């Protein structure tokens, strides 16, 4: 355990991260499939899998539909959770005790790290150091996904951070809803990643983003797009005319994803 790691509750639920799996399989197909040089055995690492390794196993199944030989490593601070998870280990699936300093063995490499629903107990000022520590384990081109969801996984907001030659780039923010709670941009406010969680307030750039999205959503509704999926889709089209870097790909919008890739990266 390093000075950054902290014990937290381990609650998770089946299917909680399924929308993220679907996104990654669709949008990060190349990352999941790469197999040259060190990528041949490069793992997916799930940090903080919780009391039960359900979401790790669900992701392993989803990603292995693309890449059957993908190594998967579940990492947990709590040793009792690691012991219980061993019942699900196999030749390609491992569970190890560890923290942000990932417990990798010599010769192991990493293509994708997921750290979902784990930074709530950490201070926002600690987040950049945690991102750097985790991102340091990635191969160049690899992805770190860190964010939050509600318990069923109906609402999700996450950072997408890419390992680039200069370090770790804050490439994008991803928002998703399955519309089971309707739709309004404010739905996402309480599920922002830790570093933005309490910053949706006047004077903060993330508040400007929410104000723009809310105005775009109100216009969409006034134009008759009142059903949640349509209100979402048309709010994103309108938002794209105000804010740079909004991705308006049809698949993303049809499936309830807003991907925001601001030029120059997501502000800190």
Ligand X SMILES: C[S@@+](CC[C@H](N)C(=O)[O-])C[C@H]1O[C@@H](n2cnc3c(N)ncnc32)[C@H](O)[C@@H]1O
Contact of 131 with 138, CB cutoff 8 Å: no
CA dihedral 8, 88, 139, 99 (to 10 degrees): 20
Is there binding between residue 11 and ligand X (CB under 6 A)? yes
Is there binding between residue 116 and ligand X (CB under 6 A)? yes
- DSSP SS3 for 209: helix
In what order do the strands lie in the sheet containing 246-247?
Answer: 93-97, 72-76, 43-47, 110-116, 138-149, 155-164, 167-177, 257-260, 246-247
Residues of span 202-231 touching ligand X by CB under 6 A: none
Alpha carbon distance, N-terminus to C-terminus of the chain: 26
Is there binding between residue 171 and ligand X (CB under 6 A)? no
Is there binding between residue 145 and ligand X (CB under 6 A)? no
Q: Which of 57, 77, 113, 160 contacts ligand X by CB under 6 A? A: 77
Sequence-separated (6 or more) residues with CB below 8 Å from residue 61 = none
Q: Which of 24, 32, 47, 253 contacts ligand X by CB under 6 A? A: 47
Backbone angles phi, psi at 50, to 5 degrees: 100, -165
- Binding-site string for ligand X from residue 16 to residue 45, where x marks contact by CB under 6 A and - marks none: xx----------------------------
The C-alpha atoms of residue 258 and residue 159 are separated, in whole angstroms, by: 12
Residue nearest to ligand X (CB): 48
Residue (17 or 19) nearer to ligand X, CB: 17
Applying CB under 6 A, which part among 110-118, 174-182, 197-205, 260-268 lies near ligand X? Answer: 110-118
Contact of 27 with 64, CB cutoff 8 Å: no
Is there binding between residue 117 and ligand X (CB under 6 A)? yes
For residue 123, the minimal CB distance to ligand X (Å) is 13
Query: How many residues sit close enough to ligand X to count as binding (CB under 6 A)?
Result: 24
Residue (77 or 172) nearer to ligand X, CB: 77
The token pair at 268 is 């800190």
Contact of 129 with 194, CB cutoff 8 Å: no
Applying CB under 6 A, which part among 10-18, 159-167, 193-201, 231-239 lies near ligand X? Answer: 10-18
The token pair at 192 is 């922002």
The DSSP call for residue 187 is G
Is there binding between residue 100 and ligand X (CB under 6 A)? yes
Q: What angle do CA 58, 136, 153 make, to 5 degrees?
A: 30
For residue 237, the minimal CB distance to ligand X (Å) is 31
Q: Which of 20, 75, 82, 157 contacts ligand X by CB under 6 A? A: 75
The C-alpha atoms of residue 108 and residue 161 are separated, in whole angstroms, by: 20
Q: Which of 19, 43, 45, 50 contacts ligand X by CB under 6 A? A: 50
The C-alpha atoms of residue 180 and residue 185 are separated, in whole angstroms, by: 14
For residue 159, the minimal CB distance to ligand X (Å) is 14
Give the interface with ligand X as residue ranges (CB under 6 A): 5-6, 8-12, 16-17, 47-50, 55, 75-78, 81, 99-100, 116-118
């Amino acid at each position: 355990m390093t000075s950054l790691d902290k014990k937290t509750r381990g609650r998770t639920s089946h299917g909680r991260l399924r929308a993220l799996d679907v996104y990654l399989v669709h949008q990060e197909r190349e990352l999941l499939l790469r197999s040259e040089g060190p990528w041949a055995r490069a793992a997916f690492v799930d940090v903080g899998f919780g009391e039960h390794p359900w979401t790790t196993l669900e992701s392993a199944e989803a990603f292995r539909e693309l890449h059957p030989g993908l190594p998967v490593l579940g990492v947990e601070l709590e040793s009792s959770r690691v012991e219980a998870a061993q019942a699900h280990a196999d030749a390609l699936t491992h569970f190890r005790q560890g923290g942000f300093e990932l417990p990798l063995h010599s010769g192991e490499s990493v293509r994708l790290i997921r750290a979902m629903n784990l930074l709530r107990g950490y201070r926002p000022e600690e987040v950049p150091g945690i991102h750097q520590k985790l991102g340091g384990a990635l191969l160049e081109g690899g992805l770190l996904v860190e964010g939050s969801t509600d318990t069923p996984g109906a609402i999700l907001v996450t950072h997408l951070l890419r390992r680039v030659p200069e370090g770790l780039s804050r490439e994008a923010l991803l928002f998703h809803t399955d519309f089971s709670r309707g739709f309004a941009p404010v739905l996402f406010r309480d599920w922002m990643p830790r570093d933005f969680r309490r910053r949706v307030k006047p004077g903060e750039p993330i508040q400007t983003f929410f104000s723009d999205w809310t105005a775009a959503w109100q216009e969409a509704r006034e134009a008759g797009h009142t059903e949640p999926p349509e209100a979402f889709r048309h709010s994103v089209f309108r938002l794209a005319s105000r804010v740079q870097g909004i991705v308006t790909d049809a698949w993303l919008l049809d499936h309830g994803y807003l991907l925001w890739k601001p030029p120059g990266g997501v502000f800190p």
